[in-house]
Amino acid sequence: MKPFSSYKNPALAVDLVVFGYHEQNLSVLLLNRKEAPFKDQWTLPGAFLQIEETFQQTCSRILKTKLGMDDVYLEQLFSFDDPARDPRGRVISVTYYALVNPHKLEIAAGKMANDVQWFNVKKIPALGFDHKKIFDKALQRLKSKILYFPVGFELLDELFTMSELHQLYECILGIEIDRRNFSRKMLVAEYVINTGQKREGLQNRHPELFRFNKKLKHHNFQLNIINP
Amino acid sequence: MKPFSSYKNPALAVDLVVFGYHEQNLSVLLLNRKEAPFKDQWTLPGAFLQIEETFQQTCSRILKTKLGMDDVYLEQLFSFDDPARDPRGRVISVTYYALVNPHKLEIAAGKMANDVQWFNVKKIPALGFDHKKIFDKALQRLKSKILYFPVGFELLDELFTMSELHQLYECILGIEIDRRNFSRKMLVAEYVINTGQKREGLQNRHPELFRFNKKLKHHNFQLNIINP
DNA sequence: TCAAAAGTGTTTGTACTACACCCATGC
DNA sequence: GCATGGGTGTAGTACAAACACTTTTGA
């Protein structure tokens, strides 16, 4: 084996798929590149890993400096290794996906550079690098994860109605779910807790507000929907 | 952003968790290190990524040169980033797990260096680096994957009896499963196909031989066992 | 003919599906 | 009082769990 220092190392980038939920639509944050390669094309936000950084720290740096946000749900997605994925040379991309609540970022919205924009996941433009592949993988992961892990709550406010949760699931999974069965399932699985409070000021009956049950033993939960 | 070439890149290692199934026990392949750090300790087989290699190519290189095997099931597991995980300096580890059938490797067994050894997964020794963490993650992944994807067949011969499949599942999951319900489930899900052949030369009734149904639409399959 | 493993069927209970009615609210 | 969404109950069904008997083989 060669001595440790003689290896030529590829560059290591961290790229992020940031999901948000706006007006009953799942959306993703894209960045319009200002420099080559893929100048003026949309890409996922990313940065090169600095030698002393953990992946999470790189993620935080991207979120803070490029997007003006912090403290979000992050999960490692996959590492991409196509030797041709970056025209500048060999770059490995370690990817994460993030779930953010855009409401909580309204202050941050001002800080967001004007080359950053939310796109409905059903209408995303052509992406530079292999970022379409990364995005596809992230969406697929989110779809399957939400069936057995409380991952969707990160996209909602702390208090939410059953309809809001129901719509979120239908939107992410892209299928219809019977609202009555959905509600029962969420309650008997103790996935959510009824706060007793109600949402005021709506036109119709005031719906009850729920919060996520953080004490749940998640292993028990499974939404029996075959992943489409 | 700094120019592309000015970044100092961490080294990039690929580490492998190679699972095998011997005499009704799940085992993992470990390598006794001949050089520092962790000299004379057991570790997962691994290698540094060469600049032009894909991850899969690095995996194949490790499998072939260190373990004398090739053409095995491989799946990317996770990327590990603890800055202190390697005492020599910053090394990112991209990990894969492999499933191999030790029967098919009996010729290869001779080629295997004598510092390579199978260990029962319930009795693995202390491991160097953060390899225990990696191993744990691999086992966990295998356990959950086997519930919804035909991943276990890679560990068996092409033809196998229902008992053998049943024992494999019990062994990996670490739980008891009713053999009659298990058998029915496998058959109605069309997960396996009865070949009509029987295994000869046993003391008792000759069991039927099955093969994995490669044409299965895997989405349909789900073994309803809550992951322990 | 006996022991050991393999093959098969039935009953029971639970949980998901599908569906319909009443309730609260603002206009 | 009416339109709109919110809350709840029930019958039917499908599937998984639990369980026992028969069959085949070598010794």
User: Rounded to two decimals, what is the model's pTM?
Assistant: 0.92
Q: Which range (A21-25, A106-110, B170-174) has the least confidence?
A: A106-110
pLDDT band per the 50, 70, 90 thresholds, residue A107: very low
Give the pLDDT confidence of A140-173 residue by residue, as tens digits: 999 999 988 889 999 999 999 999 999 999 999 9
Residues in chain B with CB shorter than 8 Å from the CB of A226 are: 219-220, 222
In degrees rounded to 5, what are phi and psi of residue A164? Answer: -65, -45
State whether residue A78 sits within 8 Å of chain B by CB: yes
- Contact of A144 with chain B, judged by CB distance below 8 Å, is answered with no
Where b means 16+ CB within 10 Å and e means fewer, B187-206 reads: eeeebbeeeeeeeeeeeeee
Q: Is B10 in Cβ contact with A51 (below 8 Å)?
A: yes
pLDDT higher at B19 or A221: B19
* CA angle, B25 then B31 then B34, to 5°: 160
Chain A and chain B share a number of CB contacts under 8 A equal to 81
Predicted pLDDT at B150: 86
Pairwise CA distance, residues B110 & B68, whole Å: 9
Comparing CB atoms, the residue among A4, A9, A82 nearest residue B88 is: A4
pLDDT confidence of residue B114: 66
For strand D, give the nucleotides within 7 A of a protein CB: 3-10, 15-20, 23-27
Residue A51 contacts B where some CB pair is shorter than 8 Å = yes
Successive 10-residue mean pLDDT values, chain B, 228 residues? 59 97 92 90 96 96 86 95 96 97 66 79 96 98 91 94 96 94 92 94 93 78 61
Q: What is the predicted pLDDT for the residue at A71?
A: 81
Query: Would you state the pLDDT for residue A3?
Result: 41
Who among B9, B79, B222 is closest to A11 (CB)? B9
Nucleotide with C1' nearest the B194 CA: C7
Residue A227: other Cβ atoms inside 10 A:
13
Q: Which one of A51, A89, A228 has the shortest CB-CB distance to B8? A: A51
A140 in reach of chain B (CB within 8 A): no
Decide if pLDDT at A33 tops 50: yes
Q: Which residue has tokens 């202190």?
A: B84
Task: Say how far apart CA B50 and CA B29 lie, in whole Å.
Answer: 23
CB pair distance less than 8 Å for A82 and B54: yes
Collect all residues of chain B within an 8 Å Cβ-Cβ radius of residue A10.
9, 12, 49, 51
Sign of CA dihedral A198, A199, A205, A207: negative
